[in-house]
Amino acid sequence: MEIKETAVAGTLESSDIQIMISKATDGIQIDLQSDVEKQFGDQIRQVITKTLNDLDITAAKVKAVDKGALDCVIKARTIAAAQRASQTTDQPAWEVL
């Protein structure tokens, strides 16, 4: 899957995470802002990276603002943002869920 435009999913409210994905030339760069960065920063980055890899996305710039989201929420928001960014919302990637 290829990132075609900037897209976003999620909100800034408690227990949610806002994920913005935009184009990048290579690699997945994650800019994470979280109150629990120290405890769960690596875990959050890992969930985002794995979800993107499962979607065959190898290059993307991700900006994530976490408000204490659980892994399932992070995954769901990442998939939604990625599908919007790659203009594939009409073909949900069920297998990644």
Partner 1 sequence: MDNQIVDLYLSNPKVKRDWEDFLTSLKITNFSANEVDQIDYTIGIYSGDDLVATGSVAGNVLKYIGVCNKGVTTGSRFNAIVSELVNRQFANHIYHLFVFTKLNYSDSFQHIGFSELAHSDEAAFLETGSPDVNDFLTDIPRVDDQSDKQVAGIVMNANPFTRGHRYLVEQAASQNDLVYVFVVNTDASLFTTEERFQLVKDGTVDLDNVIVVNGGDYMVSYATFPAYFLASPDQAVTYQTTLDARIFRNVIAPALNITTRYVGSEPLSRTTSIYNDVLTRELPPAVEVKVIDRDQTLTSDHQVITATQVRQFIKKGETSSLTAFVPETTAQFIQNHLTTLQKRIQEGMNIDGN
Sign of the C-alpha dihedral computed for residues 84, 86, 91 and 94 taken in this order: negative
Nearer to partner 1, 8 or 93 (CB): 8
Nearer to partner 1, 38 or 95 (CB): 38
Q: Which residues bind partner 1 (CB under 8 A)?
A: 5-8, 11-14, 18, 20, 22, 33, 35, 61, 63, 65, 67
For 50, 74, 80, 85, 91, the CA distances from 41, given in Å and listed in that order, are 14, 12, 21, 24, 31
Give me the least distance between CB of 95 and partner 1, in Å please: 27
Token pair 């802002």 in the structure block, residue: 33
Nearer to partner 1, 6 or 88 (CB): 6
